[in-house]
Structure 1
Amino acid sequence: MTLLKTSDGTNLYYEVVGEGEPIVLIHGWGQNNEGFLPQIETLSKNFKVISYDLRGHGKSDKPHYGLTLSRFADDLEELMNELALENVNLVGWSMGASTSFEYVRKYGVNRLKSLTIFDMTPKLLNDEEWKYGLFHGRYEIQDALRDLTALNHDYSAFGKEFMSIAAPYFTEEMIEETNSLFVEGNTPHVLAAMWLAMVVNDYRDVLPKITVSTQIVYGDQSTLYSKETAEYLVSQIPNAKAIPFENCTHLLVAENPDKTTEVIYDIASK
């Protein structure tokens, strides 16, 4: 098992497969690098593919410190340093996209060749002036406080409720099966801390600084984020285009793995 010991003493699990220009894959909240297995298998035939478990997730340590997007960005920079990566094709899905935004805020785009965002908003929390956040503009501070309480009280119950919203077509059996993996692979203190981290951050000011070629990929059936969210991102990022995944939800990477591989391959090949 390949581990990177970060500057604050946390062990991060990572994998490197293939040779060529680097592609770095960042998974989402409550997930791990295995969410990109189909992409790793195919893309590694032409590229060096780096995937890793964010701190608190998967095979990485689950510390009680450093559970912020700022520290996640530091971890990414330290991983890039360890592997001497340049001209990186960075790919972030959901919270992985938030990590990417935070990385650009702290470190800029000098080491990046491209950025691909899968179904995420630059500002999760909605208010009177912002309606492109979570749940199509219907998630505000009181909802976040309720969810943080629920996560700490019973994260299994929260997982079931969230999955039923994120993937409305899931049967009860599918929800139970998915949630058992969610509960087995996660701890409530990490989930709550990173939910809070997403809630409190606002990356709208970062978007104009993303000057590398960018893809905003979204599920046209996503119950989390709207088409308008993707259009907003494209309007604010200088060299961005939107790519809809038809009949897909927030789980678009898993729902259409072939197209996911295709869009990453396309931007990395340019």
Structure 2
Amino acid sequence: MSMFKTSDGVNLYYEVAGEGKPIVFIHGWTADHTSFEAQVKNLSSEFKIITYDLRGHGASDRPEKGLTMNRYAVDLEELMEYLELKDVVLVGWSMGSSIIFDYVRTYGVSRLSSVAIVDMTPKLINDDEWKMGLYHGKFTIEDTFDALTTMCNNWMDFAEDFAKDAIPYLSEKELEPILEALNTNTPHIMYSMWTAMSANDYRDVLKDITVPTLIIYGEKSTLYSEETARYLKKNIQNSKLVPFENCTHFLVVENPDKLSKVVKEIALK
């Protein structure tokens, strides 16, 4: 069990498998490093694969401090510095992509060779001028306040509805293990990071992502639209759209072999 201590004293759990060019996988909100088990298996014979649990998630410490996107970006930089990683491929799923956006805003791309953005928007909250955020343009600031109220009253009341919205094809029985996993999360971490996601707007950062970039999206994602992916493509130079057919926001586990394949292709460039 490998732990890295951040500059503000928080222990982050991480795993390294294989040797070669480094690929760092960054999981999403409520998840942990095991989201990428298939990629570790598929790619570690050719690359150095790094997975880790974000602050407040999985086996990492669950602190009261540093629950912001910027601190998560700092954590990522400090972990890569500790592991002496250069020429890195960053793969961010969902909130993991927001961390990449904040990382580029803070540190630029000098440590990176390429990036993969997996089913995420640069701005979560929709308004009169922006309709490419959460729930295909229908989630407003009022909705996020309502969501936070529900989370703060009872985390699982929100988590159950969110899971049903995100993976609508699952039966009640199939949903049970997912709900059990969601219930292992620490509520104050979840609302803090929901607030952090809601508060940020990364549209101004997109022009600064100058390394080759994959924009991956689920064609059946109920959270983010194809239009969102196309907006990212338009605003990130040297980027490529990669649709995942018959996949939702959870394409990472719905078609893990394809994710491994496209990440390998960009890593080899």
The 10-residue stretch of structure 1 (7-16 or 173-182) with the greater mean CA deviation from structure 2: 173-182
Aligned twin of 1:237: 236
Query: How far is the alpha carbon of 1:176 from its aligned partner?
Result: 2.2
Q: Distance in 2 between matches of 1:31 and 1:265?
A: 23
What is the deviation of 1:53?
A: 0.2
Q: Please state if 1:225 is matched with 2:224.
A: yes
TM-superposed CA distance for 1:181, in Å, is: 1.1
1:204 aligns with 2:193: no
Provide the C-alpha distance between the structure 1 equivalents of 2:254 and 2:2, rounded to a whole number of angstroms: 29
Secondary structure class of the residue paired with 1:92:
strand
1:257 Cα deviation from its structure 2 partner: 0.6
Match of 2:252 in 1: 253
Residues of 1 paired with 2:194 and 2:141: CA distance? 12
How many residue pairs get matched? Answer: 269
CA displacement at 1:2 relative to structure 2:
0.5
Partner Cα distance (2:164, 2:83) in 1: 39
Which amino acid letter does the alignment assign opposite residue 55 of structure 1?
R
CA distance in 2, matches of 1:228, 1:204: 14
Post-superposition offset of 1:154? 1.1
Partner SS for 1:46:
coil
**Once the two structures are aligned, what percentage of the paired residues are identical?**
56
Distance 1:151 1:40 in 2: 33
User: Residue 79 of structure 1 corresponds to which residue in structure 2?
Assistant: 79
Q: Could you list the per-position Cα deviations for residues 97-122 of structure 1 after superposition, in whole angstroms to 9, with x for gaps in the alignment?
A: 00000000000000000000110000
Tell me how far apart the structure 2 counterparts of residues 86 and 249 of structure 1 sit (CA, whole Å): 32
| Alignment-derived partner of residue 268 in structure 1 | 267
Q: How does 1:87-106 map to 2 (within 5 A)?
A: 87-106=87-106
The answer for unaligned runs of 5 or more in structure 1 is none
Residue by residue over 1:43-80, the C-alpha shift from the partner in whole angstroms, topping out at 9 and shown as x without a partner, is 10000001100000000000000000000000000001
Residue ranges of structure 2 left out of the alignment (5+ in a row): none
Where does residue 125 of structure 2 map in the other structure?
125
SS of equivalent to 2:183: helix
What is the Cα deviation at residue 156 of structure 1? 1.2
- 1:143-196 deviation per Cα after TM superposition (whole angstroms, max 9, x unaligned): 000001111111112111001100110111122221111102x11000000000
How much is the aligned-residue C-alpha RMSD, in angstroms?
A: 0.5
Alpha-carbon separation, structure 2, partners of 1:107 and 1:39: 26
DSSP 3-state at the match of 1:264: helix
Aligned residue identity for 1:150: T
User: Contact 1:4–1:13 at 8 Å: present in 2 too?
Assistant: yes
Q: Is the 8 A contact 1:160 1:176 kept in 2?
A: no
**Do residues 61 (structure 1) and 77 (structure 2) align?**
no
Post-superposition CA distance 1:217-263 (Å, at most 9, x none): 00000000000000000000011011000000000010001101111
Matched AA of 2:200:
N
CA distance in 1, matches of 2:201, 2:140: 14
